[in-house]
Amino acid sequence: MTSRLPRYLSVLFLQRLFITIFGMVTLLGVLDALGNADRLPDGAGFIGQMKYMGLRIPILFDRTFVFAILLAVLLTYASLYRRNELVIISASGLSVFGQIRALAPAVVAVSIVSAILIDQVNPIANKALENWLGTSALVENTQAPERMWLSDGRLLVEVVGMQNERLSGITIFERDADGAVVAVTTAETAIPVAGGWQIEGAEQQRFDGQAGDVKTFWPSPQTPDSLRLLLTEPRDLAIADLLALNRMRGSGSRPASAYLLWALHRISLPLAALGFLILAVPIMQLYGRRDSSDMALAGGVAAGFIFMVTDGVLKTLAESGGFSAILAVGLPILGLVMAGLWLALGREVQR
């Protein structure tokens, strides 16, 4: 029995993980599509909403995966309680640490696969959304649309958005050798051409007394692909792009630490999932009685919310450059592991 137990527990866990992720992503997808229906083109109808939901699924999966791991482990043990199988597992001599070891390979494997899928699929889905609806579709409802700043020599450029490789809301600040602004050029749109961008609908105001010279060409090494990366939420970029942007200076609307933060977040996804496993298994065995499984389940969910809030606060601070990105990612996971080990040791002492 002991040799087959890891496979049995893994199958139970994976079944519940699939159901949990499917339910959470579907529910959030419907609510997200309804809440953002005003962003869809006129006449999009049901097909347009389904297309929007489909493109948002990878993003919603990324947002819910770690919490789904916790719920899947909790539900696995709740089902073991209901069928009195946990008593048999404990009677066989398998400790809490042994149960964690039995489930760890499945948790780590599914986390690694999910991290790879998120890293590869999210950028594709975001690019499709941006081409269809513009960069405003990539901004969460709770955030104001961000403007992007670019530094090209003596030019400081502000860009409001981009759709189908066409920039909108361009403001170009021209500086002299001392850094003082001598001219401001505003333009409605800009399209990519060889060596830079062709400006359309430009107007200029000068402050140095010289005659106005409205330029219709903005020389720049920036391409639609590079600007798309700067306009996209860091969490939705691939690890390779995050690391490249972390090394870049002078452009963008975020500090370099924001890109390092989300690269570390993506890399540490299996560790976070393993931390939830280490916490959830002893929580579900705190009381040791079948009629207390619901209370343990509620306690596990509460612990998950505490983690999510703490993790969110630290990541917000780190994204703005006010806290270490390494600590923002590592401390919440370390807290999960330490709390889980403490509970597991306490459970072993009770036995």
Query: Over its length of 351 residues, how does the chain's per-residue pLDDT go in tens digits?
Result: 556 888 999 999 999 999 999 999 999 999 988 888 888 888 778 888 899 999 999 999 999 999 999 999 999 998 888 888 887 887 777 888 989 999 999 999 999 999 999 999 999 998 888 888 876 666 664 454 467 788 777 788 888 888 778 888 888 888 887 778 888 888 889 899 888 888 888 888 887 777 767 778 888 888 888 888 887 888 889 999 998 888 765 566 677 888 999 999 999 999 999 999 999 999 988 765 555 677 888 889 999 999 999 999 999 999 888 899 999 999 999 999 999 999 988 877 666
What's the domain range around 200?
148-223
Residues 6+ apart with CB under 8 A from 315: 261, 265, 328, 329
**β-strands 217-219, 166-175 pairing:** unpaired
283 found inside a domain:
yes
Verify that 36 and 121 share a domain, yes or no: yes
Q: Is residue 196 in a domain?
A: yes
Q: Tell me 211's DSSP state.
A: P
Any residues with CB less than 8 A from the CB of 104 and at least 6 apart, and which? 274, 277
Same-domain pairing of 21 and 129: yes
Same domain, 218 and 154: yes
Domain assignment present for residue 236? The answer is: no
Q: How many domains does the chain have?
A: 2
Looking at the domain assignment, is residue 153 inside a domain? yes
Residue 334 covered by a domain: yes
